[in-house]
Structure 1
Amino acid sequence: MAEAAAKVRATRWKTLDDLDLSGKTVLTRVDINVPVEAGQVTDTTRIDRIVPTVDDIIAKGGKPLLIAHFGRPKGKVVAEMSLRQVVPALASALGRKVQFIETLEGAENPTDEARAAEVLLLENIRFHPGEEANDADFAARLAALGDVYCNDAFSAAHRAHASTEALARLLPACAGRLMQAELQALEKALGDPERPVMALVGGGKVSTKLDLLDNLVEKVDMLVIGGGMANTFLAAQGLGVGRSLCEHDMTDTARAIAEKAKRTGCEILLPHDVVIAEELREGAENEVVAAGDCPDDKMILDAGPDSVAHIEQAMDRARTLIWNGPLGAFEFAPFDAATNAVAAHATDLCQAGKLIAVAGGGDTVAALNRTGAAEKFTYISTAGGAFLEWMEGKTLPGVAALGG
């Protein structure tokens, strides 16, 4: 992770404060890939977070032409993936009229109404096959639409697409306010962190976070493993996990990661006790047993109270926390108890100025939002794959391209 952050520092990426935007069209890559039901946006979080960038561009005399994707149309026009349906929510969040442009040709030959509009939104960029192919000719057509490029979509920065990578190399480029905030927060948590550093990684499968775990044991001082992944590590120790979610074919890998942690001086924290039940449902009858004492006919669905206490005591020693994934099946009470308790403890430490806490990933954000903890963390990343790849120590093409 330090290596990845060093690469970003070396690019010396610019911000909106570094470029003259007066009288210029600013091609602004944003992520407004929001959930929609029956034509209505049901969660405006991603829209709300681009408002500062759009407002600043306009305040500096620029005209934002927003470029975004919606879903995965795979280079074809798919009516239900049109960005037109997000225009009302976008206009409401911005407090401005948003002129929707249906085609690239329409952007190349703007109407008088488009010329007069404060904010333009181009139709789903992934309707064009040249986008995901990172096609140079397509990127050149996009570049011809404006004078400056601004990337405010950190969540798409791990994709080398035309609107995230190639376009940044064709125009004066900078990071938008959200991208800037993401990079600064991650640099503080991962690039040059205050130590000790604790990483909390949860989720279902070791196989999906193998690169992450392998990288973290080299970079952090303490690694908490929760969720279904913890079951795989318990099984690797020869402990019974019953019918729990567990990748028994990954136990050798789990042992290898544990051995690597010993060599690097990273302390791995696994559950001491667990919450078990016969079925996963809201309010299911459950009990707490020692880790490894799960009967063959039951499932481990959460970390137990002793485990929570152990994590909290370790967290008291930490100065930086990086959180990705829940500790249990948080969607169903009471199996959200461990996640909720540890999140509350982290927020208390943040509020007291004792901890820098950065979290990211879909399940993580959902879990922290349910408890109200998200707003009290130092930073919450809305990026899923990009946040994960950053934690894995990988270079993100969309960030690297901003260095010119």
Structure 2
Amino acid sequence: MASDGPRGDPLAGVPLLTERTVVPGERWIHSAGFNVGPDLASTGRVDSELDDLRLLSDAGARVAVLSHQGSHRDGSATALDHIAAYLSRRLDRPVRYVPENASDAAVEEARRLRPGEIALFGNTRHHAGEERGDDDLARRFALLGDRVAVGGFSKAHRAHASNTGLLRRLPGYAARSLVTDVRFMAPWCGTGSPGPSAAVLGGRKKEKTCVGLVHALRTCRLVVPGGVVLNTVLRALGHEIGASDTGSHPEECLDAARTALRTGGRARLHVPTTVRAAPVDGRRITGAAFPVAVADGVPPGHAIVDFVLEPWAARMLAGMSRTVVAGTPSRYLDGHRGSCDAILSALAAAPGRTLLLGGDTVAELPWDGPVSTGGGSALHLLSTGTCAVLDALRDNAARPGRDASHT
């Protein structure tokens, strides 16, 4: 997705960890984005933050790491002991795991850290208040240290207690991993890059519709929706979609899609003539997929699992100089790969660049080109030129005498 922004340097006014002298014995909280399950299937989000932890530890800081995995809403948040073990191996130093993070016992564990020691505290999403940005929870988190190094680009668009909440209470700095990801996105954000642009939007998260679709219809030449985005678009256009997945915020996404379609833009929207549907029980596919004409509607008890890319869209994709793929367009891991194969084949023939966004997208699709594991954050940065965490860091920097011990 090529943006008509950002409006200036997205890091302007953001204090950087690399420009701050870390004094031995200082108590730091590292706000990370280690959203990786116990199988450690894709560790890119963890690996990107290793150098930040080394920097703090080698300088003699006492480091309390806060991170998330899964969600409190659906009960998928797990313990993070697997991450602590992985960090210990990769950093070649012990990383202690403390299962709690907001209790008096957790605060005491943080205070007992010695210079250079690192401890990973419990999953922040074990608390309902984390994703709400609860100020009291942020106050408890803030007792684990005296200043914050903010990494985790993948959650930089989230106003959560463990990032923007901490920045309301403690002096904060952008860690190198965050800065690297933001700078990596810069060529995809600006208006100076020549040629037309396209966005392929899939997956299940609401920002793919509420941010990605809304913005892409205004700024791109071609938009190809898939996954929940396609299901929402078809529903907004009045088509029957049966039991197709509409994500965790269906009405919010539907309203956003209707508004975006009504206001229009310069993009040509790909609405497939044919989708592939299969019988489902919830999200579980229970039978073979078959073609369904969109005009006929998807029958009850069946869900869209794939779609047929129109030849004209394949030709347009092949001619694009910039394309962003944010979210897997189909139920790829379930074997429904027609649209993905067609899209990736067209993009392989494109003369320019393609960028894959999002941890799931990068893990699922066979692609060896540029990637960013910060799906939602990247969409927000492309769309607006900033993210919630960058805004919070700028506000933090503007506070008088915010870090009196800065040397």
Common fold: TM-score over 0.5: yes
Q: Which residue identity does 1:35 align to in structure 2?
A: G
Which of 305, 313, 316 is equivalent to 1:314? 316
Structure 2 Cα separation of the partners of residues 237 and 72 of structure 1: 31
Matches within 5 A, 1:5-24: 5-6=6-7, 9=10, 11-23=12-24, 24=26
Kindly indicate whether the alpha-carbon contact (under 8 Å) linking 1:224 and 1:270 is maintained by their aligned counterparts in 2: yes
Matches within 5 A, 1:1-400: 5-6=6-7, 9=10, 11-23=12-24, 24-36=26-38, 43-58=42-57, 62=61, 64-70=63-69, 81-101=78-98, 103-107=105-109, 109-110=111-112, 114-115=113-114, 117-125=116-124, 132-135=133-136, 137-138=139-140, 141-142=143-144, 145-146=145-146, 148-168=147-167, 172-192=171-191, 194=193, 195-203=195-203, 209-227=209-227, 229-230=229-230, 233=233, 243=242, 245=244, 257-261=260-264, 264-275=265-276, 281=285, 284=288, 286-287=290-291, 292=295, 300-304=304-308, 307=310, 309-333=311-335, 335-346=336-347, 349=350, 354-360=352-358, 362=360, 364-368=361-365, 372-373=366-367, 376-384=368-376, 386-387=377-378, 389-390=380-381, 393=384, 396-400=387-391
Q: Which residue identity does 2:295 align to in structure 1?
A: G
Structure 2 Cα separation of the partners of residues 6 and 55 of structure 1: 33
Change (3 A) 1:44 1:2: closer
Kindly indicate whether the alpha-carbon contact (under 8 Å) linking 1:107 and 1:122 is maintained by their aligned counterparts in 2: no
Q: Which protein has the bigger helix share? A: 1
Kindly indicate whether the alpha-carbon contact (under 8 Å) linking 2:315 and 2:346 is maintained by their aligned counterparts in 1: no
Structure 2 Cα separation of the partners of residues 129 and 206 of structure 1: 19
Change (3 A) 1:105 1:219: same
Kindly indicate whether the alpha-carbon contact (under 8 Å) linking 1:228 and 1:244 is maintained by their aligned counterparts in 2: no
Structure 1 Cα separation of the partners of residues 40 and 149 of structure 2: 25
Structure 2 Cα separation of the partners of residues 228 and 34 of structure 1: 22
Structure 1 Cα separation of the partners of residues 274 and 126 of structure 2: 50
SS at match of 1:121: strand
- What is the Cα deviation at residue 164 of structure 1? 1.0
Q: Give the fraction of aligned pairs with identical amino acids, expressed as a percent.
A: 22
Unaligned runs of 5+ in 1: none
SS at match of 1:270: coil
SS at match of 2:295: coil
- What is the Cα deviation at residue 224 of structure 1? 1.3
